[in-house]
Homo-oligomer: A and B are copies of this chain.
Amino acid sequence: MTSDRLAPQRVPIALGDRSYEILIGSGLLSLDGAWAGLPASADALIVTNTTVAPLYGAALAERLQARHRRVLTVALPDGEVHKDWTTLNRIFDALLEAGCDRKTVLYALGGGVVGDMTGFAAACYMRGVPFVQLPTTLLAQVDSSVGGKTAINHPLGKNMIGAFYQPARVLCDLDLLSTLPRRELSAGLAEIIKYGPIADPAFLDWLEASLDDLLALDVAALSHAVRRSCEIKAWVVGQDEREAGLRAILNFGHTFGHAIEAGLGYGAWLHGEAVGCGMVLAAELSARLGLIDRALVDRLRALIARAGLPVQAPRLGIHRWLELMRVDKKAEGGEIRFVLLDGLGRATMRPAPDALVAEAIEAHTAPS
């Protein structure tokens, strides 16, 4: 990572009285301007996990000592498997045992799971307290920063219990990515790459030119990639905060991706890896429906591969593929609705014949 200190980028998220800003840059933790104007309160609770706490917990706590009289920390067990009520309740226990009032500010220091749980805890504690996100993975910086989706899992379904609840601010400190495993960096790039084909051809050009810089954690390149991703997501979410329609285009690659995750067992592939491969399949299906040229499929596949993501689909068997995609929540009345490309820079939702879906998958599956 370079040591350049660029001024942080700011992405305003306009949601009326729930508006907030995403700040993106290097060294935000120690930058006074990044913290100015956040809610003041006697108490603060840092919610993190056992992996991130030893890396950045002390630095954040020290920073917050200047803003709050009392700074508590709860380190949750790491991993999606712990995104449940029992673990969520550890946040409530910590707050109530310390007698924290309804002005307490929660700080989410971690990846998507920590962000989802902290946000939902903030939504529910005393019917709502403010929270600030400090995402420590590239995926969380681009994906969880915008949209206000918080949730926990239920044994019968992922993200089934949650709330739409907006943070007071999101601080994407790019320095925190220096400890991120390479595989998780690639997984984050999948969600960044997504924004090119669905919304911004120029961003796709830029990504192709800048991918090596991103993989080398160049601050200027990361900063632009995170900012542009957040801007596009904010534009989409701003028009459809509660996910009635347009917001579904953000799920480009996800219908195939969720089937991969479920079919191989959660955790075998990272979410971003499954989405990377899923985007290849969704592009292929778009081409076979005559919506895009084959050249765009090849172009996306090459970029996704360069990002260190899988582009070969796992061999699940077509019946299993279709079955898994039908239970995905976007299937209504048993009909799978895919997010497809309709030319470069435009996404559309539509069903597709099973035979074409099978062909698309087969075209990117290694011979057995």
Contacts and interface: CB of A to CB of B under 8 A. Distances in A.
Given A96-B157, A154-B96, A163 B123 contact: yes
A128 interface: yes
Interface string A150-187: 11001011001111100000000000000000000000
B85 A161 contact: no
A164 B125 CA distance: 11
A164 B156 CA distance: 26
Given A124-B162, A124-B163, A127-B162, A85 B93 contact: no
Nearest to A85: B85
Interface string A113-136: 000000000011111100000000
Contacts of A163: 123-124, 127-128, 163
Interface string A67-95: 00000000000000000010001001100
Copies of this chain in the oligomer: 2
B151 A127 contact: yes
A288 interface: no
A154 B125 CA distance: 10
A159 to B, nearest CB: 8
Given A89-B85, A123-B163, A163-B163, A96 B128 contact: no
B156 A97 contact: yes
A164 B242 contact: no
A279 B43 CA distance: 33
A364 interface: no
Nearest to A150: B127
A99 to B, nearest CB: 9
Contacts of A92: 154, 160-161
A74 to B, nearest CB: 15
A149 interface: yes
Given A89-B85, A92-B154, A156-B96, A161 B242 contact: no
Q: Is the interface of A mostly helix, strand, loop or mixed?
A: mixed
A168 to B, nearest CB: 15
A156 B162 CA distance: 22
Contact of A161 (B125, B149, B150, B162): B125
A367 to B, nearest CB: 37
Contacts of A150: 127
B127 A164 contact: yes
A157 B85 CA distance: 17
| Centre residue among A85, A92, A161 by max chain B CB count within 10 A | A161
Contact of A125 (B93, B96, B97, B160): B160
Contact of A160 (B96, B149, B156): B96
A123 B164 CA distance: 9
A125 B152 CA distance: 10
B124 A161 contact: yes
5 contacts: A85-B85, A96-B156, A124-B161, A126-B162, A128-B164
Given A92-B154, A125-B161, A127-B150, 19 more contacts: A85-B85, A89-B154, A92-B160, A92-B161, A96-B156, A96-B160, A101-B329, A123-B163, A124-B161, A124-B162, A124-B163, A126-B162, A127-B149, A127-B162, A127-B163, A127-B164, A128-B164, A128-B242, A163-B163
